[in-house]
A and B are shown apart, each in its own frame.
Chain A
Amino acid sequence: MLKFICPICEIETDETELTPGGEAHLKRMGPGSSDQNFYTYLFERKNPRGIHFERWLHSYGCGKWFHVARCTKTMEVFGTYSAQEIKPPKKILDAIKKKLPNGKNVK
């Protein structure tokens, strides 16, 4: 079972009280964007086998969204951070780099 530290409650939570929300850090496209960009925003996910930055909702807890860095191949969690961050913080990237020094899958 996946276990994360909710960055808002600062307690360990597990999957049963969380709702997955898919890929994080998407740039929202709307009216005025090109068809291709709008399509990519709506449907084309990275879906990587490796490091995935994703959104989770602490639905049976504080009710707030937060971000998680997780490997979809090993299920290893590299840390959680606030939903207000527009890109993964250095602390998380360092943790990933330490694990995967060649930088594969790290973007």
Chain B
Amino acid sequence: MKKYSAFSLIKESFNNHFGWEKAWKKNNLKKRYKVIVVGAGGHGLATAYYLGKNFGIRDVAVIEKGWLGGGNTGRNTTIIRSNYLQEESAAIYEKSRSLYEKLSQELNYNVMFSPRGVMMLCQTEHELRAMKRTYYANRIFGVDTEMVSPARMKEMIPIININGPRFPILGGLWQPRGGTARHDAVAWGYARAISNWGVDIIENCEVIGVNKNKNKINSVETTKGTINCEKMCFVVAGSSSILAELCGFRLPVESVALQALVSEPIKPVMHCVVMANTVHGYMSQSDKGEMVIGGGADGYNNYTQRGSFQHIEETVRALIETFPFISRLRQLRQWGGIVDMTGDRSPIISKTPIENIYVNCGWGTGGFKAIPGSGWATAELIANGEPGELASPFSLERFKEGRMIDESVAAAVAH
């Protein structure tokens, strides 16, 4: 693998940039791997990366139904934050956020992590109270956040309208170390690193069945042939229920559409990420100048990667009161992705009823921010066969035991 550096850039500029090699190799499927990771999105690739880095397991294949990073990794609004209410969530999301800080250097691939700050608006009395509670919880768990008054918020974000009348700004929860990153680059950077170790990334390879012997799988049937494996982990977000059904069990998740849109590019108007949880509107400005707006999730089961028009309309309609200037912007693109929602809006990183199958799913509407931490925790689970400190609270058993990690009530919305 060619190292990316100022020196290699200068060298290549004398060569008309013809000397760059492909970031990752397209290999053929081998007959057997130690570990198969299903799903080449951010979480799947990160899992393979930390398996190789932390545990030296590099006899791994990452197989993908579509193309690399083509699911929710390429469809999110790239927000990274860790200001969660519950201790278990704060641990894994903060781990993830801190890994993001050094990811570009570590992968030698610019993931454009931009700790520009995340502001969560409080637009009702209840939300203000809930955010204060989150703020105190954050202090206890060592997550760096602070409460911000409306006046200070107006200073920080001059384009904001704090007076309402319907959704006045009563305060905000500010996480200065949150921010955004280039979503595709995260997938591409991990892919480049693992491909360099000889991990096979196989695209257009859908799992169509598993061959079980008692409570263990021996091999996985795919559209590109049968692969033998010691362990399998599926990290397939919206398609988790389908894979679980193939393996012979069910998961407590439901797949729904989540949408986002971007405006035409404009000059810089807002330096940070703003999250208006009451109205389900999440906005930041990309480096290209587009206003990136995330909406709320639809309420019904859906596998089409398209959402309902009225949800996008509701989001924008509500945001216009807080950011009047966006009413003049034109929409450039709009898209949807299928997210897998759990009952408590917390993820599942767990062993399954099948001995050597592991699952990482249920990230719902907030998986992008968790990619490094989730990969770290899942790799630990696969390598040791038992969850580590980060993953153990997120087991499947928590639903049966009533041990929820409730993040839906805490933030008033799903993430």
Contact = CB atoms under 8 A, between A and B. Distances in A.
Interface centre among B251, B298, B301 (most CB of A within 10 A): B301
B254 A22 contact: yes
A39 B255 contact: no
B343 interface: yes
Contacts of A75: 302, 304
A63 interface: no
7 contacts: A1-B309, A15-B308, A19-B299, A42-B399, A45-B250, A47-B301, A49-B303
Nearest to B241: A47
Interface of A: 1-2, 15-16, 19-20, 22-23, 35-36, 39-40, 42-49, 52, 54, 72-75
Given A2-B300, A73-B303, 4 more contacts: A35-B400, A45-B252, A45-B253, A54-B300
B310 A15 contact: yes
A45 B299 CA distance: 14
B309 A47 contact: no
A33 to B, nearest CB: 13
Contacts of B302: 72, 75
Contact of B250 (A20, A40, A54): A40
Interface centre among A39, A49, A54 (most CB of B within 10 A): A49
B303 A39 contact: no
B279 interface: no
B23 interface: no
Contacts of A73: 303-304
Given A43-B399, A44-B251, A72 B301 contact: yes
Given A45-B252, A48-B241, A49-B242, A1 B304 contact: no
Contact of B254 (A2, A16, A35, A47): A47
A44 B239 CA distance: 15
Contacts of B304: 72-75
Given A20-B299, A20-B300, A72-B301, A47 B255 contact: yes
B253 A47 contact: yes
A43 B299 contact: no
Contacts of A39: 399-400
Interface in B220-259: 239, 241-242, 245, 250-255
Nearest to B300: A20
Contacts of B309: 1
Nearest to A49: B303
A73 B239 CA distance: 12
Contacts of B310: 1, 15-16
Interface centre among A23, A42, A44, A73 (most CB of B within 10 A): A44
A39 B254 CA distance: 15
B100 to A, nearest CB: 31
A57 B281 CA distance: 25
A44 B308 contact: no
Interface centre among A20, A45, A47 (most CB of B within 10 A): A47
A55 B302 CA distance: 14
Given A15-B308, A15-B310, A35-B400, A46 B250 contact: yes
